[in-house]
Chain A
Amino acid sequence: MSTETLTIGKALNLGLRKAMEDDAKVVLMGEDIGKLGGVFRITDGLQKDFGDDRVVDTPLAEAGILGTAVGLAMRGYRPVCEIQFDGFVFPAYNQIVTQVAKIHARSRGRLPMPIVIRIPFGGGIGAVEHHSESPEAYFAHTAGLKVVAVSTPPDAYWGIQQAIAHPDPIVFLEPKRRYWEKGQVDVDATPDPLFASRVVRGGDDVTVLAYGPMVKTALQAAQAAAEEGRSLEVIDLRTVSPLDLAPVFDSVRRTGRCVVVHEAPVTLGLGSEIAARVTEECFHSLEAPVLRVGGYDTPYPPSKLEEEYLPDLDRVLDAVDRSLGF
């Protein structure tokens, strides 16, 4: 067994390297991903080792990245596109929604689109506008796409490889403020499936759901709650589309209470869909309505205000209190 301590960023880097070694059709495309290694250094050293035909420094145009990725995929390649920051995915939104997502259906399966769209997402890094957003609901709402959000180094390492090997287009969300979080990665392990949620802390009183950067926040809240004698079960959803809610339903049937946490604005965010599904499946077990903790329905604020905008441990505990007090 070879276990290494890796940051999420390094785990992604090694996962990309492994995927490129395993399949010569894997091509990385993006802005500044070559010589520079990406603004977060996720592709560090890959162009040097795989050449500039496989790690392509593209012109500065996101629609161009995704549109040419479609053509490469039609030719049998497996493009992995880096969008430098979440807020810059929108110039490519047309290609993602009208082409990438629909070509498999349009062609009745004759043109698979094995494209991975890597996006560092979420806030908390003190950045300027358009560098802190959580666009997952747009993509989860689009038929033909799949959306995953990793939260740990092992999921980053395995998840990126699984996403690249997968036949459908995947929006792969990386929790940018957690890039430097460390964890143990066993590179010889058998990974969990990509589209599966996971109970990351057992508990009996309230089920707390999170994905990406909010998993750590939810775990911190569970720790704090435990000190007050409250037992939170924390589930890392891991996949945003398709949602894997069977473990959630099992949990809520035991706890009777559910809180969903994400950075994205609450209105029509993932929490809305999850609340509806939990209500449909667990109606008779619920002791309280499903509560959502998320960003406000405002543009992402200037960084001096982001701590107040983003869900944190206290806002999660506040929702837990409201759920228990219902």
Chain B
Amino acid sequence: MSTLSQTTEVVDPVPGAGAPHLPGQPDLVQLLTPEGERVEHPDYSLDVSDEELRQLYRDLALVRRWDVEATALQRQGELGIWASLLGQEAAQVGAGRALAADDMAFPTYREHGVAWTRGVDPLHVMSLFRGVDQGGWDPVATHFNLYTVVIGAQTLHATGYAMGLQRDGAESATLAFLGDGATSQGEVNEAMIWAATFSAPVAFFCQNNQYAISVPIERQSRVPLYQRAAGFGFPGVRVDGNDVLAVLAVTRAALAAAREGQGPTFIEAFTYRMGAHTTSDDPTRYRLASELEEWKLRDPIARLKAHLSRSGIADAGFFASVDAEGDELAARIRRGTLEMADPAGTEIFDHVYAEQTPELVRQREEFVAYHAGFEGEGH
């Protein structure tokens, strides 16, 4: 049998993990098994209090509740589109909670869980997907850049920002988010070259959710993604992206190394996009239901819940209170989204430049005069 027919015929329930053409894969860094059992890892440990564990659970549950509400709002026609994070909550919350206050995060367009950890108001994310603005939060105040839709472009921004931190003598780092598909982009590879060359304080956080819309990871890389880092001259590590504790530990270590001048790290958070790419996508066209079922057994929230319950760190009352908080959050998000005012038409002219051009002044006046012409006509 040819290699080609093998790759087309073998049904791998965990894409990437057992692909026949890949070299031997080490275990993922894991601190919490899918069954909710705490395990030790020789290189990564996490000292975490019970209260912090409950807080992490709360983060995970709330961002999922937000995500569910956003998907529903899109289905009801209240959002233009929604990019769901379903299944990637642990990767995002773990990475987000690893950031120090002055670290700067550079998201793609799916990092709602990271936004949450940076204190971004969910409504400022909803406004983007409703078409009111391009993201309503202040990237400077929140240390969370605006979403970047062009795949991988933000990895260079994170690297450049990190070079600025170096020049400022700041003891901070940046965290560049990217997906598995982005690793094929030239700009992402350039970012890793720059980061290595200048030993910039940046960590690359790649959520390998197995698919770039419909295209599986095998079409992006012949080697496990974390192994790419070696070619650039810095460490790469694969972490169980559905294990919030392992993600937190691995990302903290990478950011600490960056702040200490040791340069970049590439983190591959091995996870799964349980939903569609966006609400416009139909994953049944390109993946099997059995694969999704397999990954449901690795659900990032269920495993932490199991751990908290079994170890007595949280009781039924706690979980009920988080559920109630989630419902309140969802109601607030729904209400806030529906109440969002449409922006004024003149806003399109107002921030193109820091110093407005005469031509745009003229076009803006023309726009205002044109629309004023309809006043009183019931428009």
Q: Give me the interface of A with B, judged by CB distance under 8 Å.
A: 27, 53, 58-59, 61, 63-64, 66-77, 79, 91, 94-95, 98-99, 103-112, 114, 143-144, 146, 166-168, 195, 241-244
**B194–A143 contact, CB under 8 A?**
no
Contact of B163 among A68, A99, A242 (CB under 8 A): A68
CB pair B190 A71 closer than 8 Å: no
**A240 vs B351: C-alpha distance in the bound complex, in angstroms?**
20
Report B341-375 residues with CB < 8 Å from chain A CB: 350-355, 357-359
The interface residues of chain A lying within 8 Å CB-to-CB of B163 are 68, 71-72, 75
- The chain B residue with its CB closest to the CB of A75 is B164
Which A residue's beta carbon lies closest to that of B153?
A99
Report yes or no: A112 in contact with B146, Cβ–Cβ below 8 A.
Answer: no
Within 8 A of A (CB), among B267-300: none
Tell me the complex Cα distance, A99–B165, Å.
21
Beyond A74-B145, A75-B161, is A166–B355 a contact (Cβ under 8 Å)?
yes
A53, B167: Cβ atoms closer than 8 Å: yes
The distance from the CB of A202 to the nearest CB of chain B, in whole angstroms, is 24
User: When chains A and B are docked, how far (Å) is the Cα of A286 from the Cα of B146?
Assistant: 49
Please, which residues of chain B bring their CB within 8 A of the CB of A70? 156-157, 160
CB distance from B233 to the nearest CB of A (A): 12
13 contacts between A and B (CB under 8 A): A58-B194, A67-B160, A67-B190, A68-B156, A71-B161, A74-B160, A95-B153, A99-B157, A105-B352, A107-B139, A111-B140, A146-B353, A168-B353
Question: What class of interface size applies to chain B in its complex with A?
Answer: 35 or more
Collect the chain B residues with CB atoms within 8 Å of residue A110's CB: 138-140
B164 and A77: CB pair below 8 A?
yes
B160, B353, B355: the one within 8 Å of A71 (CB): B160
Q: Check if B167 sits within 8 Å of A74, measured CB to CB.
A: no
B residues with a Cβ closer than 8 A to A are 133-135, 138-140, 145-146, 148, 150, 153, 155-165, 167-168, 174, 186-187, 190-191, 193-194, 197, 350-355, 357-359
* Bound CA span A108–B350, Å: 8
Q: In the complex, which residues of chain A have a beta carbon less than 8 angstroms from the beta carbon of B156?
A: 63-64, 66-68, 70-71, 95
What separation, in Å, do the CA atoms of A94 and B190 have in the docked complex?
13
Asked if residues B162 and A71 are in contact (CB atoms below 8 Å), the reply is yes
Task: Other than A64-B187, A75-B168, A105-B351, give 10 A-B pairs with Cβ distance below 8 A.
Answer: A63-B156, A64-B193, A68-B191, A75-B161, A104-B353, A106-B146, A107-B139, A107-B351, A112-B354, A146-B357
Instruction: Among A27, A58, A105, A244, find the residue whose CB has the most chain B CB atoms closer than 10 A.
Output: A105
Beyond A71-B161, A77-B167, A107-B139, whether A63 also contacts B355 by CB under 8 A is no
By a CB distance below 8 angstroms, the chain A residues around B197 are: 59
Give the complex CA separation of A51 and B161 in angstroms. Answer: 19
Looking across the interface, which residue of chain B has its beta carbon closest to that of A239?
B357
Q: Which residues of B contact A195 (CB under 8 A)?
A: 357
Name the A residues within 8 Å of B167 (CB-CB): 27, 53, 77
Taking CB atoms, residues of chain B closer than 8 Å to A106 are 134-135, 146
Structural contact, A143 and B352, CB atoms closer than 8 A:
yes
Q: Which residues of A contact B190 (CB under 8 A)?
A: 59, 61, 63-64, 67
Q: Give A159 Cβ to nearest chain B Cβ, in Å.
A: 16
Q: Which residues of B contact A167 (CB under 8 A)?
A: 353-355
Q: Which of A74, A108, A168 touches B355 (beta carbons < 8 Å)?
A: A168
Which chain B positions have C-beta within 8 A of A27? 167
Let me know if A67 and B357 touch, CB within 8 A.
Answer: no
A66-B153 Cα distance, complex, nearest whole Å: 10
Chain A residues positioned under 8 Å from B191 (CB to CB): 64, 67-68
A104, B354: Cβ atoms closer than 8 Å: yes
CB neighbours of A105 from chain B (8 A): 134, 351-352
Max chain A Cβ within 10 angstroms of own Cβ: one of B140, B153, B158, B163: B163
A111 to chain B: closest residue by CB: B139
Name the A residues within 8 Å of B135 (CB-CB): 106-107
Say how far B159's CB is from chain A's closest CB, in angstroms: 5
Residues of B within 8 A of A79 (CB): 160
Determine whether the beta carbon of B354 is less than 8 Å from that of A109: yes
Chain B residues with CB below 8 A from A166, complex form: 355
Pair B153/A61 contact, Cβ less than 8 Å: no
How far is it, in angstroms, between the C-alpha of A69 and the C-alpha of B224 when the chains are bound?
A: 30
Chain A neighbourhood of B159, CB < 8 A: 67-68, 71
| Given A68-B163, A94-B187, A98-B150, A59-B193 contact (CB < 8 Å) | yes
Nearest chain B CB to A216's CB is how many angstroms away? 27
By the criterion CB–CB under 8 Å, are B194 and A64 in contact? yes
Residues A68 and B160 in contact in the complex (CB < 8 Å), given A144-B352, A166-B355? yes
Least CB distance from B361 to A in Å reads 10
B186 in contact with A63 (CB, 8 Å): yes
User: In this complex, what residue of B is CB-closest to A70?
Assistant: B157
A74 to B, closest residue via Cβ: B161
Query: What residues of chain A lie closer than 8 Å to B351, measured between beta carbons?
Result: 104-105, 107-109
Report Cα–Cα, A8/B117, bound state, in Å: 52
- The answer to whether A74 and B157 touch across the interface, beta carbons within 8 angstroms, is yes
Partner of B354, one of A64, A71, A168: A168
Task: List 4 A-B pairs, minimum CB-CB distance, nearest first.
Answer: A71-B160, A67-B156, A75-B164, A68-B160
